Amino acid sequence: MGVSIRDVAARAGVSVGTVSNVLNRPDSVPEATLERVRSAIAELGYVRNDAARQLRAGRSTTVGLVVLDARNPFFTDVARGADDEAALHGLSVLIGNSDEHPERELRLVSHFEEQRAHGLLISPIGDDVARLREIRERGIPVVLVDRTVAGSGFSSVAVDDVHGGELAARHLLDAGRRRIAYVGGPAGLRQVADRAEGARRAVAAVDGASLDLAAVASLTVAEGRTAGERLAALPAAERPDAVFAANDLIALGVLQALALAGVSVPGDVALIGYDDIDFAAAATVPLSSIRQPSRRMGATALSILVEEAADPSLAPRDVVFEPELVVRASTGG
Amino acid sequence: MGVSIRDVAARAGVSVGTVSNVLNRPDSVPEATLERVRSAIAELGYVRNDAARQLRAGRSTTVGLVVLDARNPFFTDVARGADDEAALHGLSVLIGNSDEHPERELRLVSHFEEQRAHGLLISPIGDDVARLREIRERGIPVVLVDRTVAGSGFSSVAVDDVHGGELAARHLLDAGRRRIAYVGGPAGLRQVADRAEGARRAVAAVDGASLDLAAVASLTVAEGRTAGERLAALPAAERPDAVFAANDLIALGVLQALALAGVSVPGDVALIGYDDIDFAAAATVPLSSIRQPSRRMGATALSILVEEAADPSLAPRDVVFEPELVVRASTGG
DNA sequence: AGCGCGGGATGAGACGTTTCAGATCCGCCG
DNA sequence: CGGCGGATCTGAAACGTCTCATCCCGCGCT
């Protein structure tokens, strides 16, 4: 069908091995031959066949990145960081979206395994890493992103979400709020649980403070909106005076619903999110949030992956970044 | 290295051809054999090698999608639509980000060509489609997304941006505004130019109305912010009374800058964006915008691509969707 | 003249899959 | 009992690349 390395060789009057050398080790080929082969390539419009190359090499030059929500700017930032770093190693990053569905996650993981991916960056949904272990045993290194799984033996890059949750709740308490609602879900997501745990600790340290949990099905604007509607529908006396949303998308949804219902933010309800995505600062009421170094997380995860790919015997490493409170108008700042 | 189809065959006591049949045409294999081969696969932990499969097949089962900005929710929506449709055909979509850089675009295109992609969806930066022609001649179908290139011979899926620009500007004029600023760039992007052209037409139809162009370097929040700062710094008498931003990200940036400078939206300046991304409704002042059926565009582009991949002789098709005005508070709606 | 050396070039596998022409087996018909 | 059609299975070839052991050749040295 297409033009192969063999055609190029014939045209240039050399052997296939030489063409391959021109392609991969141009330094080892004298100028004259280089020139001849290169013009043959140009004349024939030869394009390397990556499938054949990978088959030979045994592994691909692609790194899989499995995220919970490809539309969440937090993850696009992580991806960007990983991509930048990958470019330095001659790799490229492929983004797969699990959408918080375990079966989609499995499918993606299998897909990357069939591709013989160079490695896998994943933000797993549950704690069941059995499948990931298989993958690693078959030679594909795995690095966990945005969370750790205790004792799993996988390297990870994450943020101290318990601390982040604590920062957020304490900020609300410092602002004089006492009845805090935590809007998050699904409960199976470790990030969601950790942030709640942090909030719980902060609340426990203050007399007369309480924490309510409002579960949502996923970390999206739409879910935040319906949660916000529920809150707005409560009689004012029962309504919390502060909301801590498990991420900014939910916070934005809550904000929309409250605004629509005439509930003032931060007057009636203080609101804080998590992730500090770009859009947080541009919200109806600029949103306080917890910032994570998303881009750096992606880059770090990828470089760990590269090291483990080169030497699978490396001991797993857990990198934990510290979250940072960003105060804006939604909490009265 | 890994477990191959040959190992499975040996274990199950059949030939490689039979294993391949079990994998690809299970109907043609009797139950007993099926069972035997399947358990051999399970026992050995066999995983198909996609590189080998693709090498044999001559083309991959991946569709490349090259976008101008992977972080722009408009494009993530397009990708989502394409992805959904791709799943129906057993394909998967790979997103590449050109970031409006022609050289990055070229690199991505080459990458997909080396992969022998099943096809290419692209939102090209300039009008120079020579490279895309080459690609197609070598057997990879190409469909243009979010814009057309007249006479290029490529199928395309787009929105009538001239009409969209007209809708936006006319809406501002209907609201009584007369001095409109169009914030957009780079000028090389067809979408940017078309929307400006539409605005020009609308303005030309109204006595005493004027249109100023404010160029920005890229379609991002940050660029919008600096443009907004420039506008806010003008003496009130010279300041436009309405801004039409080339997309919502820019509009959000403009909005932030104006708010910070104490310029009221829509009091002093009415503001409208383009794309109607999710965050538009959640902005400081909910943003009027021009909606595009982004998800449907992605799905349509992909299905055209599949048809052309099956029959390369098909005549190119141009699908044009109509944009829709969405009125919110930022224009006084 | 004989020898060793080294830069260049060669070309035969091997990677793992799919395909496909042909072999094998079995029941059944004439 | 020979032959036949269909179901089932086989195994070699081919896809395009890279690697590596080998070969070639010219040159300087003894």
B 172-191 near A (Cβ less than 8 A): none
The CATH fold assigned to A5-48 is 434 Repressor (Amino-terminal Domain) (1.10.260)
Q: In the 51-70 stretch of chain B, whose C-beta falls under 7 Å of nucleic acid strand C?
A: 52-53, 55-57
- Tell whether the model's pLDDT for residue A284 goes beyond 90: no
CB contact set of A33 (below 8 Å; sequence gap of 6+): A12, A14, A18, A22
Span A136-153, mean pLDDT?
Answer: 93
pLDDT tens digits, B221-247: 999 999 999 999 999 999 999 999 999
Closest among B329, B34, B274, B50 to A112, alpha carbons compared: B50
The CATH fold assigned to B60-160+294-323 is Rossmann fold (3.40.50)
pLDDT tens digits, A15-40: 999 999 999 999 999 999 999 999 99
The Å distance, CA of B173 to C1' of D4, is: 85
pLDDT of residue B71: 86
Measured CA to CA, the distance from residue A148 to residue A166 in angstroms comes to: 18
Span A131-155, mean pLDDT?
Answer: 94
Closest among A92, A95, A104, A91 to A75, alpha carbons compared: A95
pLDDT tens digits, B262-280: 999 999 999 999 999 989 9
Q: Is the peptide bond preceding residue A186 cis, with omega within 30 degrees of 0? A: yes
**A243 pairs with which residues across the strands?**
A181, A271
The Å distance, CA of B21 to C1' of D3, is: 30
- Tell whether the model's pLDDT for residue B201 goes beyond 70: yes
Could you write out the DSSP letters of every residue in B96-135?
EE-TT-HHHHHHHHHHHHHTT-SEEEE--SSS--HHHHHH
- B16 Cβ nearer than 7 Å to chain D strand: yes
Report helix, strand or coil for A244.
strand
pLDDT tens digits, B181-196: 999 999 999 999 999 9
- A20 Cβ nearer than 7 Å to chain D strand: yes
**Which tokens hold the place of A72?**
């969440």
Q: Is the Cβ–Cβ distance between A191 and A158 less than 8 Å?
A: no
* B327 interface with A at CB cutoff 8 Å: no
CB contact under 8 A, B282 and A110: no
Q: State whether the Cα torsion B233-B239-B241-B246 is positive or negative.
A: negative
Q: Over the range A230-253, which residues count as b (16 or more CB within 10 Å of their CB) and which as e?
A: ebbeeeeeebbbbbbbbbbbbbbb
| Cα–Cα separations (whole angstroms), residue B210 to B56, B161, B165, B180, B207 | 61, 20, 15, 6, 9
CB contact set of A295 (below 8 Å; sequence gap of 6+): A77, A78, A80, A81, A84
**B283 pairs with which residues across the strands?**
A283
- Tell whether the model's pLDDT for residue A324 goes beyond 90: yes
Which bases of chain D come closer than 7 Å to a protein CB? 7-21
The Å distance, CA of A37 to C1' of C1, is: 39
Q: In chain A, which segments carry CATH 1.10.260?
A: 5-48
Contacts of B73 in chain A (CB under 8 A): 71
Span A286-299, mean pLDDT?
Answer: 97
* B221 interface with A at CB cutoff 8 Å: yes
- B210 Cβ nearer than 7 Å to chain C strand: no
How far is CA A138 from its chain centroid? 24
Q: Is the peptide bond preceding residue B186 cis, with omega within 30 degrees of 0? A: yes
Span A289-297, mean pLDDT?
Answer: 97
Task: Supply the CATH classification number for the domain B161-292+326-331.
Answer: 3.40.50.2300
- Tell whether the model's pLDDT for residue A333 goes beyond 90: no
* Closest Cβ–Cβ partner in A48, A138, A256 for B45: A138
CB contact under 8 A, B51 and A138: no
- Tell whether the model's pLDDT for residue B1 goes beyond 70: no
* A130 interface with B at CB cutoff 8 Å: no
CB contact under 8 A, A116 and B255: no
Q: What percent of chain A has pLDDT over 90?
A: 91
Q: Is the peptide bond preceding residue A102 cis, with omega within 30 degrees of 0? A: no
Q: Is the peptide bond preceding residue A266 cis, with omega within 30 degrees of 0? A: yes
Give me the helices (H) in B5-72, please.
5-12, 16-24, 31-44, 50-57
Angle at A225 between CA A219 and CA A231, to 5 degrees: 110
Q: Which residue of B has its CA nearest to A108?
A: B92
pLDDT tens digits, B136-152: 999 999 999 998 998 89
Report helix, strand or coil for A19.
helix
The Å distance, CA of A3 to C1' of D15, is: 12
pLDDT of residue B2: 86
Stronger pLDDT, B333 or B4, i.e. the higher one: B4
- A204 Cβ nearer than 7 Å to chain D strand: no
**Confidence grade of residue B332 (pLDDT, cut at 50, 70, 90):** very high
* Closest Cβ–Cβ partner in B49, B95, B283 for A283: B283
Measured CA to CA, the distance from residue A13 to residue A16 in angstroms comes to: 10
A 228-287 near B (Cβ less than 8 A): 252-253, 255-256, 278-279, 281-286
Torsion of CA A23, A25, A29, A35, to 10 degrees: 30
pLDDT of residue B299: 98
Span B186-209, mean pLDDT?
Answer: 96
Q: What percent of chain A has pLDDT over 70?
A: 100
Q: In the 237-256 stretch of chain A, whose C-beta falls under 7 Å of nucleic acid strand C?
A: none
Supply the pTM of this predicted model: 0.89
Distance to chain A for B251, nearest Cα, Å: 10
Q: Which residue of A has its CA nearest to B253?
A: A282
Distance to chain A for B182, nearest Cα, Å: 20
Q: Is the Cβ–Cβ distance between B310 and B149 less than 8 Å?
A: no
Measured CA to CA, the distance from residue A66 to residue B126 in angstroms comes to: 32
Q: Which residue of A has its CA nearest to B96?
A: A94
Contacts of B138 in chain A (CB under 8 A): 2, 45, 47
Q: In chain A, which segments carry CATH 3.40.50.2300?
A: 60-160+294-323, 161-292+326-331
Distance to chain B for A284, nearest Cα, Å: 3
Span A261-273, mean pLDDT?
Answer: 97
Contacts of A256 in chain B (CB under 8 A): 281-282
pLDDT of residue A150: 87
pLDDT of residue A1: 67
CB contact under 8 A, B253 and A282: yes
pLDDT tens digits, B37-61: 999 999 999 999 999 999 999 999 9
* Closest Cβ–Cβ partner in B51, B77, B94 for A60: B51
CB contact under 8 A, B252 and A282: yes
Map tokens 């709740």 to a residue: A169
- A61 Cβ nearer than 7 Å to chain D strand: no
pLDDT tens digits, A57-98: 999 999 999 999 988 999 999 999 999 999 999 999 999 989
pLDDT tens digits, A168-224: 999 999 999 999 999 999 999 999 999 999 999 999 999 999 999 999 999 999 999
Average pLDDT, chain B: 95
